Structure 1
Amino acid sequence: MEIRLKAAYFWQWKRISIIVLFLILLTASLMIGSSASVSFNALFNKDLTAWSVLWHSRIPRTAAIILSAAGLSVAGLIMQAISRNKFMSPSTSGTTDAAAFGLLLSYIFLNQQPGIVQTLFAFVFAFFSTLIFTSVINRLKIREVVYIPLIGMMYGGLISALTTAVAYRFDVMQMMTAINLGSFARIGDFSTVYIVILPLVFAITYSTRFSIIGMGEDFSKNLGLNYNRVVFVGLVIIALISAATFVAVGPLPFVGLIIPNMATSFYGDNMKKSIIDLMFFGADFVLVCDVLSRLVIHPFEMSVSLTISIIGGIIFMIYLIRGLRGAKKIKTAN
């Protein structure tokens, strides 16, 4: 009984800590920027310019950061459950690259269409690309956990090469270069990112089922779960989140890869119990990277994808080395 109380207390302490950190970073994100007109003093004195900048620029941007980070973190966790591989994510399975290809085609053939149309194109390509990749991987029966993301990155590289070739052919390479720089400093609205709310609700609803399918197809079916249906719902969630975030802010590398690994090391594999904390964890990580991007060359701003790539790349290498060492230990024991 005492052990359970200590475990519950420790769990609550971790949750409170991550929420407090989130609130601090949220405040920093709203206050830091190129405009010096926004300050606590100006807001308390009802300065119209400060409130206008806050309402029309800072709040939509921060909301986009939170939703993008939470969405990609959840998408990565679901993909890792479906594939039963901790190195899988939308960025290491070709999903993000397919979303970029769909966005490119919508721009070429439909020109300037609303973000919802672009998201639809990106979603269709991301979904079918992920479906093809997961089907092929399941048939190959690869045991080495490191090989699957490597195959996924090669698959994504092929799609990316095709995207580049088509962009050159239709003379829209400049547009694609701008899109491929993930940034929250774009001029325009972030309305498409609010689509992420719907798949997040479904992810929370299906969280227990996703945890079960992470234990394998046979185990899931023995518990009476419709394995194929849950996988289908998971792929739809992954594709929709990847498409909506890519159209709104561009690629955010490593978020869907390292955040689920970091969160599960803190909270375990019970998705129902940890999915909300995972969202806060992802939001904290991207908010930190975004604040750093704004401070490094202030009042100018670096691309947030560059900051995420540097920090996320280091963390990914650590997890990769740990995974290889763990695999060697298992082989030695056998």
Structure 2
Amino acid sequence: MTSSTTAPVAAPPRQGWWQRPAALAVFSLVTAGLVVTSLLVGVYDLRAERGAEMFQITRLPRTLALVLAGSAMAVSGVVLQQLTQNRFVSPTTSGTSEWAALGLLASVLLLPTAGLTTRMVLASVSSFVGTMVFMAILQRVRLRTTLIVPVVGIMLGAVVSALTTVIAISTDRLQLLGTWFMGSFTPVVRGRYEVLWVVALVCLAVFVLADRLTVAGLGKDVATSVGVRYEHVMLLGTAMVAVATGVTTVVVGFLPFLGLVVPNVVSLLRGDDLRSNLPWVCLGGIALVTACDIVGRIIRMPFEIPVSMILGVVGAVAFIALVLRLRRHG
């Protein structure tokens, strides 16, 4: 894949308060405060009878799922942006999430008695295939401006989503499909979220491979010249994104724009050093999805608004702001 003018490695790191070591500590405390708040917010009174038991069954698993899913989807976004050399690419704007839903539907139809692990594998495989299709299409697109790449991904995702909907209607699974697209942490309980720990391994692998991903983002010629096996790094990066997206879709559904907003905000504040930005991206993903989930829980208590709706509003506003900023700066 050739290098383009939208490569996220081009901007020099910014100097300021966000570059200081104390800034990460402060942000960590803010994120920890949101996590603790998530543990305490809910309809069920933890001081009531069986409060401790309900805390173990519902409140703690839900908060752990927020932490794992938020960090995984944010990291997936920054990896895709690095590999495609485009700031506007994420699992939402590349069709990866839609392919995961197609694989999940296929697992329900072909293996109706399969457990979460089997569905996770099929959704991840489908995500990997879809992301590779997206990459292959990009290699054949001559005009690869900043907005063309995500538009291609959104169009591909729309086609896959339409196919998934047609299959769901013909097999009377449309209501089930709707629950996947409406990402929510409400059904997360003990015994149903544990597969999400797989995405923690994905985040760890991204930390280990950060330098190679950075070099691969410079393009095939540069990567080959410094001894990096470009194709292998691209496949490995795509596989990690597919696993994170597939597992998250199986457990909680879609989390739109999370992988788009967080990496771009971090990049605007700190520059484009992937390795030093990864802790910020993880914490930012956790903070954003946890804050949106808390808002969804309290705004109409005792009812809940799915976190995907809050994220969709925040992400759409952020996406428009990023596009306008890009236009303003030429």
TM > 0.5 fold call: yes
Deviations 1:234-279 (A, max 9, x none): 0000000000000000000000111110111222211111212210
Which of 203, 208, 226 does residue 206 from structure 2 map onto? Answer: 203
Residue matched to 2:136: 135
Determine the structure 1 residue equivalent to 2:54: 53
Moved more, 203-212 or 186-195: 186-195
Deviation at 1:7, TM superposition (A): 6.4
The whole-number CA distance in structure 1 between the counterparts of 2:67 and 2:188 is: 18
Q: Which residue of 2 aligns with 1:144?
A: 145
Q: CA deviation at 1:86?
A: 0.2
Residue 147 of structure 1 and its aligned partner are, at CA, apart by 0.8
Q: CA–CA distance in 1 between the matches of 2:72 and 2:62?
A: 15
Match among 277, 282, 296 for residue 280 of structure 2: 277
* Separation of aligned partners in 2, 1:8 and 1:296: 33
Contact 2:188 2:251 survives alignment (8 Å): no
Please list every run of 5 or more consecutive structure 1 residues that lacks an aligned counterpart in the other structure: 1-5, 330-334
Q: Name the structure where helix makes up a greater proportion of residues.
A: 1
- Aligned residue for 1:237? 240
Matching residue of 1:156:
157
Map of 1:320 onto structure 2: 323
CA RMSD of aligned residues (A): 1.6
C-alpha contact 1:119 1:247 (8 A) present in aligned 2: yes
Question: Quick check: 1:119–1:244 contact (8 Å CA) kept in 2?
Answer: yes
Unaligned runs of 5+ in 2: 1-14
Larger Rg: 1
Are the equivalent residues in 1 in contact too, given 2:19–2:270 (CA < 8 A)? no
The answer to whether the aligner puts 1:16 opposite 2:25 as a matched pair is: yes
- On the 8 A contact 1:192/1:247 being kept in 2, the answer is no
Do the aligned residues in 1 keep the contact of 2:31 with 2:287 (CA within 8 Å)?
Answer: yes
Spell out, residue by residue over 1:13-68, the C-alpha distance to the aligned partner (whole angstroms, 9 max, x if none). 22012101111101110000011x22xxx4xxxx7622112111111101101111
- What pairs up with 1:56-205 in 2 under 5 angstroms? 56-186=57-187, 188=189, 189-205=192-208
Cα distance in 1 between the residues matched to 2:18 and 2:175: 53
Aligned to 2:43: 34
**Distance across 2 between alignment mates of 1:10 and 1:143:** 32
Residues in 1 aligned to 2:159 and 2:23: alpha-carbon distance in whole angstroms: 41
Residue of 205, 226, 232 corresponding to 1:223: 226
Separation in structure 2 between the aligned mates of residue 211 and residue 222 of structure 1, nearest angstrom: 14
Corresponding letter in the other structure for 1:264 = S
8 Å CA contact retained: 1:119, 1:243:
yes
User: How far is 1:8 from its partner?
Assistant: 8.9
Confirm or deny that 1:266 pairs with 2:269: yes
Cα 1:9–1:247 shift into 2, 3 Å: closer
Secondary structure of the residue aligned to 1:90 is coil
- Counterpart of 1:123 in structure 2: which amino acid? S
**One-letter code of the match for 2:22?**
W
2:97·2:254 contact (CA, 8 Å) conserved in 1?
yes
Cα distance 1:222–1:98, how it changes in 2: closer, same or farther (>3 A)? same
Aligned residue among 302, 309, 313 for 2:312? 309
- Report how many residues are paired: 314
Distance 2:205 2:19 in 1: 28
Which protein, 1 or 2, shows the higher relative CO under an 8 Å CA cutoff with sep ≥ 6? 2
Separation in 1, partners of 2:212, 2:17:
23
Maintained 8 Å contact 2:95/2:156 = yes
User: What amino acid sits opposite 2:119 in the alignment?
Assistant: Q
TM-score between both structures, scaled by the size of structure 1: 0.91
TM-score by structure 2 length? Answer: 0.92
**Percentage of pairs with the same residue:** 28
Deviation at 1:299, TM superposition (A): 1.7
Which of structure 1's runs of 4+ aligned residues deviate more than 6 A?
6-9
1:99 is displaced (CA, Å) by 0.3
Against the structure 1 CA distance between its residues 9 and 298, is the aligned structure 2 distance closer, same or farther, given a 3 Å change threshold?
closer
Partners of 1:166 and 1:136 lie apart in 2 by 24
Between the aligned partners of 1:90 and 1:271, the Cα distance in structure 2 is: 18
In structure 2, what is the Cα distance between the partners aligned to 1:321 and 1:95? 25
How many angstroms apart in 2 are the aligned matches of 1:7 and 1:263?
13
Once the two structures are TM-superposed, the CA of residue 123 in structure 1 deviates from its matched residue by 0.8
Query: Retained in 2: the 8 A contact 1:90–1:242?
Result: yes
How big is the shift at 1:137? 0.3
| Whole-Å separation in 1 of the counterparts to 2:149 and 2:328 | 17
Deviates more, 1:308-317 or 1:139-148: 139-148
The AA in structure 2 aligned to 1:34 is V
